[in-house]
């Protein structure tokens, strides 16, 4: 069995705990054993999973991998700690708030001979797979992707573009490398409203 720990118990972290406690039959998850979860808040137990300290998770020889599901801003530091401790790491996107930091983390994982995987579960859904089939072999002439969400805490989530990085990953996976041609941001503090508009161009313009 491959020992794991979940770090962070928001929506993604709770889903990880649930799936690790009840793996799909004959799935790779059956070979994973959840030793506990780490959180700044005190919970005790969640669905029979016990809360352990960060220090214990880092020191434990029974824990081989960490699933990091914390707020964006803390991803980089948490990844570094677990790689330093000799653990494999799966992290919810984005891995870090800068490309420089992300490259350093990839290099660190290679030096430690550990897996560092950035998870984007949407790319594995049947709906997305169908979308990819529909655009295969076609040239993108023009398109618009619009999505909405609640206002983010920038201290935790980082610059607003990071709230849309999942969709950017969609576009790159579907249409190849993109170049940013322009980006604007509109804020209306009195209405607690913010909008970012970004224009991209594919490699063939």
Higher pLDDT, 111 or 153: 111
User: Considering 119, 144, 168, which residue would you say is the last residue of a domain?
Assistant: 119
User: Considering 93, 119, 145, which residue would you say is the last residue of a domain?
Assistant: 119
pTM score of the predicted model: 0.76
Show the domain range for 182.
136-202
Residue 24 has pLDDT above 80, yes or no: yes
| Residues whose CB is less than 8 angstroms from the CB of residue 174 and which lie 6 or more positions away in sequence, other chains included | 131, 132, 135
Average the pLDDT over each of 91-100, 143-152, 191-200 and give the range with the smallest value.
143-152
In a shared domain, residues 6 and 96: yes
Residue 72 has pLDDT above 90, yes or no: no
Is 126 part of a structural domain of the chain?
no
How many structural domains does the chain have? 2
Mean pLDDT of the 96-123 span: 93
Q: Is the peptide bond before 138 cis (omega within 30 degrees of 0)?
A: no
């Amino acid at each position: 069995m491959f020992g794991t720990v979940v770090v962070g118990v928001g929506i993604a972290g709770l889903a990880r705990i649930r799936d690790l406690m009840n793996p799909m039959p004959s799935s790779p998850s059956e070979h994973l054993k959840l030793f506990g979860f780490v959180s700044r808040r005190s919970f005790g137990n969640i669905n029979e999973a016990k809360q352990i300290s960060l220090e214990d998770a880092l020191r434990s020889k029974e824990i081989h991998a960490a699933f990091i599901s914390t707020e964006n801003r803390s991803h980089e530091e948490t990844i570094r700690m677990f790689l330093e401790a000799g653990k494999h790491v799966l992290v919810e996107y984005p891995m870090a708030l800068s490309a420089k930091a992300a490259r350093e983390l990839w290099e660190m994982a290679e030096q430690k001979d550990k897996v560092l995987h950035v998870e984007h579960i949407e790319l594995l859904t049947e709906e997305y797979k169908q979308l990819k089939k529909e655009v295969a072999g076609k040239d993108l002439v023009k398109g618009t992707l619009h999505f909405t969400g609640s206002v983010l805490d920038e201290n935790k989530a980082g610059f607003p573009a990071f709230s849309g990085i999942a969709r950017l990953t969609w576009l790159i996976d579907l249409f190849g490398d993109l170049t940013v041609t322009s980006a604007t941001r509109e804020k209306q503090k009195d209405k607690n409203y913010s909008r970012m508009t970004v224009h991209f161009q594919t490699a063939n313009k």
